[in-house]
Amino acid sequence: MVSCDLPSVLPWSSVSPLAGLRPPLLLTALSVLVLLGACEHGATGSYGDDDDDSSPLVVGDDDDSPNDDDDTGESGLPCNGHVELCARRFDQVALPATHNSMSNREDGWWVPNQNLPIVRQLEDGIRGLMLDTYYWNDDLYLCHSSCLLGSKHLVEALVEIREFLAGNPREVLVIIFQDGISAEDTAGAFEAADLGAYLHGQLEGQTWPTLGEMIDSGRRLVVGAESSGPPPSWYHHAWDLYFDTPYSFASVEDFSCELHRGQEGNPLFLVNHWLSTPLASESNAALANSWSVLHQRAIDCHQEQQQIANLLAVDFYDQGDLFQVVNALNGVGR
């Protein structure tokens, strides 16, 4: 995810976004909103055979794992909603993801990319979160471009994610950070949220575990950062794991699958699929996320890059057919 070179704190009211501004300042603020949108950033498949018997890398001792059961789907329990996915490696599975996941209308963010907050996204089936971290008011926050447009305390958001994982032991999640804070401070936030037992670490060149193996180990959260990287070992540099598509498109005709960041041969593929004209909108999302557009692009990108869209990231996920497309990519029905 790429952000504008704008300060994280602008000289406006710090009480609520744009509250109490005099008309000249309000016009300035609205002009900035348009500028923010103009530089907005950036997440049917066949499954290859792999005879590598390498065991998955997990962080920590299994005794600390939040899951004690040893079940990879053979008993009929699902993995990310489907028994068929339990025996598939993580890099062979498509996951529905949200762009600027924290920025949502329900929580009052200005110029949001989603309608609903993170907890509701997870409850609805989103399994990939794209989050932006900032320093603000001497603390750690999720914001986008300016914390005056909307903010959420980072540890609070991570606690919500941990509570979802605890309550849904058959689900595997992904976070990609556009990281504006240090790896050390990020690790501290994860420790404060008590997420350590869920974090998966992946060595370069190591065969990915199956979803069932990740669930059995309890290590069900894969974290990457666009700028930083390890240590700690679970805090992967995103572009060592992923390669992605461009993310700035004005129309569905502009969508492409060409390589943007990362390198060919990286194990995971992030497809950025949203329109900015220049701002995100529900009407654009309804078009971009429609079956005919989203499914065709996912197929085209799979064929061009020879890799399933591991993260299919959209704006306003509640518009269109994201979940049906991901099911189709995974071969588990529309």
**Per DSSP, what are the bridge partners of residue 311?**
95, 270
Identify each DSSP E strand in 41-87 by its residue range. none
What average pLDDT score do residues 285-311 get? 97
* Res 133 pLDDT > 70: yes
- Asked if 224 and 175 touch (Cβ cutoff 8 Å), the reply is yes
Put simply, whether the predicted model's pTM sits higher than 0.85 gets the answer no
**Per DSSP, what are the bridge partners of residue 314?**
98, 273
Q: What is the pLDDT of residues 63-80, one digit of tens each?
A: 344 444 444 555 689 999
Q: Which alpha helices (H) appear in the chain, and where do they start and end?
A: 23-38, 118-124, 154-167, 183-192, 211-217, 238-241, 282-288, 291-305, 322-330
* Res 15 pLDDT > 60: no
Going by C-alpha positions, the residue among 4, 66, 70 that lies closest to residue 37 is: 4
Tokens describing residue 103: 């920025």
Q: For residues 281 and 31, what is the distance between their CA atoms, to the nearest angstrom?
A: 17
Going by C-alpha positions, the residue among 208, 132, 120, 222 that lies closest to residue 171 is: 222
- Asked if 42 and 272 touch (Cβ cutoff 8 Å), the reply is yes
Q: For residues 306 and 321, what is the distance between their CA atoms, to the nearest angstrom?
A: 23
All domains of the chain in start order, with CATH? 23-330 (3.20.20.190)
What average pLDDT score do residues 141-169 get? 97
pLDDT-above-90 percentage for the chain? 74
What average pLDDT score do residues 113-136 get? 98
* Res 2 pLDDT > 50: no
* Res 16 pLDDT > 90: no
Is the pLDDT higher at 48 or at 224? 224
- Asked if 142 and 151 touch (Cβ cutoff 8 Å), the reply is yes
331 CB neighbour count, 10 Å cutoff: 15
- Asked if 47 and 211 touch (Cβ cutoff 8 Å), the reply is no
- Asked if 135 and 4 touch (Cβ cutoff 8 Å), the reply is no
Q: What is the pLDDT of residues 249-294, one digit of tens each?
A: 999 999 999 999 999 999 999 999 999 888 999 999 999 999 999 9
* Res 13 pLDDT > 90: no
139-142 and 128-136 as β-strands: parallel, antiparallel, unpaired? antiparallel
The chain-wide mean pLDDT, for the chain, equals: 84
Class of residue 240 by CB neighbours under 10 A (exposed 0-12, middle 13-18, buried 19+): middle
* Res 57 pLDDT > 70: no
* b/e 255-286 (16+ beta carbons within 10 angstroms → b): bebebbbbeeebbbbbbbbbbbeebbbbebbe
Of 41-55, 124-138, 151-165, least confident by mean pLDDT is: 41-55
Q: For residues 272 and 315, what is the distance between their CA atoms, to the nearest angstrom?
A: 10
User: What is the predicted pLDDT for the residue at 76?
Assistant: 87
Amino acid at 56: P
